[in-house]
């Protein structure tokens, strides 16, 4: 009887507890985080603070569910923040938080206040170098290391200093260098004394250089891209430069450099392993843009014609604006390293708003790279062109329909950008000069120049892009302004120049509002690029500029302006681009809004 009574009581109590638990869970509200603010952070970036917190930050995208709030996790985050600050020498940093709930108490705003306190200052730095190294290396080390006397000292900068010193020594023949050290920190009086004992080890030189994996590509094609030779002082920079140059040949899908150190002879034996890509390829592509509508191309490429890294390419490109058939040939090492001879022949038809042109062009020239980021080229060109479908109102702006041109083209480029398709850092400076002389059989005399500067700066997840270009055409001798062929004049307006104006409709127009081109041009842009979600991004831009009829006659009071926004979707071949531009001061008859669809950034 007692056993039965005990079982009944136990079951009843268990049932009540379960009911209370279920009731409590059903009535417990989930609190979500609506906003997190961080105040007082100066010495440590907000990005790093967020990365060290376990509390999830709400997304700026309204369709993403707000994260759940857990106050215990937030309390632990305050400790994590303080530990993070101690890494940077701020041992007295203190982090607190305040909570602000909405009326329903299902949303909370979090404000994190950080009092950084005073940092530890490096009062004394002793670099004890065991062994002989060049004075220039000592100077480079002192100038490059992150920790400096009189500046805040932290464990982060201390470890980074060790890495910097090892990198410098490894790039200058000391791959076996070691570093030991100690740091004395007085937290009460906020000072630190640091000592680094550096043993550079023996000086290494490059030893045997072997190449494996190449089958159709001759070894000499690879060897001429190597920036060092046997007996040179070992350098990691030489290895990375060599790897990049071999890969840029376009002949290999992978390039790996293995190093084996001979510690008795102090030699670094190098093996370059390559994997050849398909040397002959056929590519077919189709696309669509608001200016050229449907477009397609067929490209056949042989990357090692008759050996020696020679390249032959034949292509056909068709669109509603341009139809072009072209062959291109290049011979590397025509004038030493980073040089090539180029030759091309093309047949082209352009169907433009105010005229059409058919042309045959042949060119030959040399391109040369130097000082890592510079390249220069020079070509001689012969062109036969015929104009047709000329607007009746445009005819008064031209003198001839048929042209035979011989002209030289010279250019110089400085490129420090981090990407060809979608740059986020660096600058691109280009200058181009084209000149034609009747004494060489050309129908006209002219000098045409264009210079452009582009800059890209990454600020957190944002990219600020800007450009400015200016150009001119100067007829001379017996050639006058309207003798310059239409296809050589400057035109602007469209998806890559002035996005508030239709294709080529910026600048001088005839009475039918058809473009006639000009002899001077100025174009500029400011663009802010930002991420939206995964591969999607957005832009906001300001474009300005104009085309002017006379040479060297740029009138700032006649500049046109356009603002707009756009959407980007990043792909392997560059971003898919949609832009909407609004002209602030268009010409009469030109609509204010323009829409563009294309591939690749505007610049």
Q: Is the pTM of this model over 0.85?
A: no
Q: How confident is the model at residue 15 (pLDDT cuts 50, 70, 90)?
A: low
Q: What is the pLDDT of residue 512?
A: 85
Percent residues over pLDDT 70 in the chain = 95
pLDDT in the model for residue 23: 43
Over residues 359-366, mean pLDDT: 98
CB atoms within 10 A of CB 402: 10
Predicted confidence at residue 217, as pLDDT, reads: 95
pLDDT single digits (tens) 32-67: 999 999 999 999 999 999 999 999 999 887 888 999
Average pLDDT, the chain: 91
Can you give the residue ranges of every domain in the chain? 32-115, 121-199, 205-276, 279-332, 353-599
Rounded mean pLDDT, 112-129: 94
State the pLDDT at residue 397: 72
pLDDT given at position 7 = 55
pLDDT for position 164? 95
Q: Which fold has domain 121-199?
A: Ubiquitin-like (UB roll) (3.10.20)
pLDDT in the model for residue 64: 87
Q: Which CATH number fits domain 353-599: 2.40.160.50, 3.10.180.10, 1.10.1840.10, 3.90.800.10?
A: 2.40.160.50
The answer to whether the 121-199 and 353-599 domains have the same CATH topology is no
pLDDT in tens, 522-575: 999 999 999 998 899 999 999 999 999 999 989 999 999 999 999 999 988 889
Place of tokens 């036969």: 384
In this prediction, residue 393 carries a pLDDT of 65
Q: Residue with structure tokens 């979090």?
A: 110
Strand partners, 513: none
Query: pLDDT-based confidence at 5, cuts 50/70/90?
Result: low
**Can you read off the two tokens belonging to residue 352?**
């433009």
Model pLDDT, residue 167:
94
Please report the beta strands in 277-352, taking only residues with DSSP state E, as ranges in sequence order: 280-289, 293-302, 311-319, 322-332, 339-351
Task: Please check the confidence at residue 17 and state whether its pLDDT lies above 80.
Answer: no
pLDDT at position 565, please?
A: 97
- 355: helix, coil or strand? coil
**Which tokens is 317 given?**
């490109």
pLDDT score of 20 more than 50: no
Whole-number Å distance between alpha carbons of 222 and 208:
15
Write the pLDDT tens digit of every residue in 382-412: 999 999 988 776 676 777 889 999 999 999 9
pLDDT in tens, 164-185: 999 999 999 999 999 998 999 9
Domain 32-115 has CATH 3.10.20.310: yes
User: What pLDDT, in 10s, does the model give residues 264-310?
Assistant: 999 999 999 999 999 999 999 888 888 888 889 999 999 999 999 99
Beta bridge partners of residue 296, listed in sequence order:
286, 318
Measure the CA dihedral 596/599/602/603, to 10°. Answer: -170
pLDDT at 335 over 90: no
Q: What is the C-alpha separation between 495 and 289, in angstroms, rounded?
A: 9
Nearby residues of 4 by Cβ (< 8 Å), 6 or more positions away: none
Q: What is the pLDDT of residue 293?
A: 83
- Give the pLDDT score at 1: 55
Is 18 in a helix, a strand, or coil? helix
DSSP string across 82-149? HHHHHHTT-TT-EEEEEEEE-TTSSEEEEEEEEE--PPPEEEEEEEEE-S---HHHHHHHHHH-S--T
The fold of the 205-276 domain, in CATH, is Ubiquitin-like (UB roll) (3.10.20)
Question: Taken in order 74, 76, 78, 84, is the CA torsion positive or negative?
Answer: negative
Between 594 and 398, name the one with better pLDDT.
594
The pLDDT assigned to 537 comes to 95
Q: Name the packing angle between helices 155-170 and 71-87 (round to 10°).
A: 50
Percent of the chain residues past pLDDT 90, beyond the cut: 78
Tell me: the pLDDT tens digits for 471-530? 999 999 999 988 999 999 999 999 999 999 999 999 998 888 889 999 999 999 999 999
Instruction: Give the whole-angstrom CA distance, residue 39 versus residue 54.
Output: 18
d(CA 595, CA 363): 36
Burial annotation 354-363 (CB, 10 A radius, 16+ → b, else e): bbebebebeb
pLDDT of residue 26: 44
Q: Is 407 left (phi over 0), alpha (psi -120 to 50) or beta?
A: beta
């Amino acid at each position: 009887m007692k056993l039965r009574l005990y079982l009944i009581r136990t079951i009843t109590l268990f049932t009540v507890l379960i009911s209370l638990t279920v009731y409590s869970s059903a009535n417990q509200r989930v609190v979500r985080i609506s906003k997190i603010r961080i105040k007082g952070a100066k010495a440590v970036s907000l990005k790093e603070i967020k990365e060290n917190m376990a509390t999830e930050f709400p997304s700026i995208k309204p369709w993403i569910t707000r994260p759940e709030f857990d106050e215990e996790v937030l309390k632990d985050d305050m400790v994590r923040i303080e530990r993070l600050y101690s890494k940077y020498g701020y041992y007295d940093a203190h982090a607190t938080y305040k909570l602000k709930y909405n009326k329903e108490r299902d949303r909370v705003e979090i404000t994190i206040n950080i009092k950084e306190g005073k940092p530890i200052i490096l009062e004394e730095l002793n670099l004890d170098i065991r062994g002989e190294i060049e004075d220039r290396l000592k100077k480079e080390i002192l100038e490059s290391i992150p920790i400096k006397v009189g500046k805040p000292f932290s464990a982060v900068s201390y470890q980074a200093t060790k890495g910097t010193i090892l990198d410098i020594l490894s790039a200058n023949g000391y791959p076996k260098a070691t570093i030991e050290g100690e740091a004395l920190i007085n937290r009460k009086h906020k000072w630190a004394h640091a000592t680094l004992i550096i043993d550079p080890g023996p000086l290494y030189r490059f030893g045997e250089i072997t190449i494996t994996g190449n089958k159709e590509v001759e070894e000499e094609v690879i060897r001429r891209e190597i920036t060092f030779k046997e007996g040179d002082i070992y350098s990691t920079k030489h290895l990375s430069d060599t790897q990049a140059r071999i890969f840029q040949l376009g002949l290999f899908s992978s390039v790996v450099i293995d190093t084996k150190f001979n510690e008795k002879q102090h030699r670094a034996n190098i093996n370059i392993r390559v994997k050849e890509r398909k040397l002959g390829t056929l590519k077919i592509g189709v696309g669509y843009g608001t200016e050229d509508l449907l477009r397609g191309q067929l490209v056949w490429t042989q990357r090692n014609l008759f050996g020696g890294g020679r390249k032959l390419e034949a292509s056909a490109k068709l669109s509603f604006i341009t139809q072009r058939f072209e062959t291109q040939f290049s011979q590397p090492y025509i004038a030493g390293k980073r040089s090539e001879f180029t030759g091309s022949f093309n047949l082209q038809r352009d169907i433009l708003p105010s005229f059409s042109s058919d042309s045959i062009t042949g060119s030959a020239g040399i391109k040369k790279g130097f000082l890592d980021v510079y390249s220069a080229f020079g070509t001689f060109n012969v062109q036969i062109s015929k104009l047709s479908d000329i607007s009746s109102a445009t005819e008064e702006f031209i003198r001839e329909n048929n042209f035979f041109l011989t002209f030289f083209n010279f250019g110089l480029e400085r490129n420090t950008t981090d990407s060809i398709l979608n740059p986020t850092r660096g600058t691109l400076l280009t200058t181009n000069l084209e000149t034609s002389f009747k004494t060489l059989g050309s129908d006209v005399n002219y000098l045409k120049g264009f210079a452009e500067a582009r800059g890209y700066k990454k600020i957190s997840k944002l990219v600020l892009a800007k450009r400015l270009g200016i150009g001119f055409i100067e007829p001379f001798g017996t050639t006058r302004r309207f003798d310059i062929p239409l296809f050589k004049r400057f035109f602007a307006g469209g998806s890559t120049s002035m996005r508030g104006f239709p294709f080529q409709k910026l600048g001088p127009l005839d009475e039918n509002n058809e473009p006639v081109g000009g002899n001077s041009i100025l174009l500029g842009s400011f663009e802010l690029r930002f991420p939206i979600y995964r591969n999607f991004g957005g832009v906001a831009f300001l474009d300005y500029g104009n085309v002017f009829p006379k040479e060297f006659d740029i009138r700032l009071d006649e500049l046109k302006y356009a603002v707009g926004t756009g959407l980007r979707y990043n792909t392997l071949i560059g971003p898919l681009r949609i832009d909407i531009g609004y002209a602030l001061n268009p010409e009469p008859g030109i609509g204010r809004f323009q829409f563009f669809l294309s591939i690749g950034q505007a610049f």
